[in-house]
Structure 1
Amino acid sequence: MAVKQNKTLNQFTDFLPWVEKLRETDKDLWIKPISTGKWSLREILTHIMHWDKNSLEMMLPSMAEGAKLFFVDIEKHNQEAAVFAQAYTTLDVLIDDLIKTRQQLLELLKEKYDDTNKFTINNWNYTYKKFVNVFIHHDEHHKKQIEAFLEQEKSA
């Protein structure tokens, strides 16, 4: 079990060095929407951090055998993150906060991770591994968006 835990949590941790590299982003680009009607890099990173905070403060403390949990209202949660993003005036501070939040989440995951525990979220069966994998895929989705945007901007 420890090997599976480490592999899953290592994948989740792999997001941090990638975020660090974003510090090199042109200061004008981080507030530009990645495409028409889409969020900016600032809003996407705040969105990810906002979900990490929700996992850290609301979900993980309640994950236990047989627990019945529910995700927050996703649209409302995402809109709150987009509004909160406007408070960030520098990319470095946002990246520092995101990394700090993810590290806190990882520490709690390392303490609590037990893939024998089964619980439900929104009436769907979950284990710690499945829960973390949801957010690994979420990170990957946004990484691809950001990388495509930055590549497009570089060649423009």
Structure 2
Amino acid sequence: MAVKQNKVLNQFADFLLWVEKLKETDKDLWLKPLSTGKWSLREVLTHIMYWDKNSLEMMVPNMAEDAKLFFVDIEKHNQEAAVYAQTYNSLDTLIDDLIKTRKQLLDLLEEKYDDTTIFTIDNRNYTYKKFVHIFIHHDEHHKKQIEDFLEQEKSA
């Protein structure tokens, strides 16, 4: 993955450095809910990977000038990801799969990325930059949840 000097894609790729470090997580924590009624680390990481997979397979390949795209049903997609998470018996395997999927997505984005291309998603104008920023913020949201959880567990 040779990401050019594209700040947005580099920022999106930075998540991988952080996620790789999660392999050091105490193995008995990855199945524990981050807080009452919330997902576990396994489900959150699968959720992120599932969105990357959707972007890789359904969204980015179809991003072109004047394309009309639509996000999947978010609740249904998230529920499917939570169910799929149950197939993982190893945190390392899950992290490896997430990294592999994100790298494939980054490669495709690098290939197609053009700041001038305008398309719609759910009838709203988007550029590649705006699209990627949604997922950078999504990563940051879940990264903070996970870091807060791990910090709390450390001091418990």
TM over 0.5: yes
Structure-2 residue corresponding to 1:42? 42
Structure-1 residue corresponding to 2:148? 148
Structure-2 residue corresponding to 1:124? 124
Separation in structure 2 between the aligned mates of residue 45 and residue 29 of structure 1, nearest angstrom = 13
- Residues 5 and 138 of structure 1, relative CA distance in 2, 3 Å threshold: farther
Separation in structure 2 between the aligned mates of residue 149 and residue 125 of structure 1, nearest angstrom = 36
- Give the residue type in structure 2 aligned to 1:78: N
The 3-state SS of whatever aligns with 1:55 is helix
Structure-2 residue corresponding to 1:74? 74
Larger proportion of helix: 1
CA contact (8 A) 1:5 1:113 kept: no
Distance apart, 1:42 and its partner CA: 0.2
Separation in structure 2 between the aligned mates of residue 91 and residue 56 of structure 1, nearest angstrom = 22
> After superposition, where does 1:7-18 map in structure 2 within 5 Å?
7-18=7-18
- Give the residue type in structure 1 aligned to 2:115: D
Identical residues among aligned pairs (%): 83
Separation in structure 2 between the aligned mates of residue 78 and residue 66 of structure 1, nearest angstrom = 28
- Give the residue type in structure 2 aligned to 1:97: D
Distance apart, 1:138 and its partner CA: 0.1
Per-residue CA distance 1:31-88 (angstroms, 9 max, x = gap): 0000010000000000000000000000011000000100000000000000000000
Structure-1 residue corresponding to 2:133? 133
**CA root-mean-square deviation:** 1.0
The unaligned stretches of length 5 or more in structure 2 are none
The unaligned stretches of length 5 or more in structure 1 are none
Separation in structure 1 between the aligned mates of residue 125 and residue 38 of structure 2, nearest angstrom = 32
Structure-1 residue corresponding to 2:85? 85
- Residues 136 and 126 of structure 1, relative CA distance in 2, 3 Å threshold: same
- Residues 5 and 66 of structure 1, relative CA distance in 2, 3 Å threshold: farther
Separation in structure 2 between the aligned mates of residue 31 and residue 17 of structure 1, nearest angstrom = 22
Per-residue CA distance 1:87-137 (angstroms, 9 max, x = gap): 000000000000000000000000000010000000111000000000000
- Residues 59 and 6 of structure 1, relative CA distance in 2, 3 Å threshold: same
Structure-2 residue corresponding to 1:62? 62
- Give the residue type in structure 2 aligned to 1:127: T
Distance apart, 1:5 and its partner CA: 6.5
Structure-2 residue corresponding to 1:111? 111
> After TM superposition, which residue ranges in structure 1, 4 or more long, deviate above 4 angstroms?
none
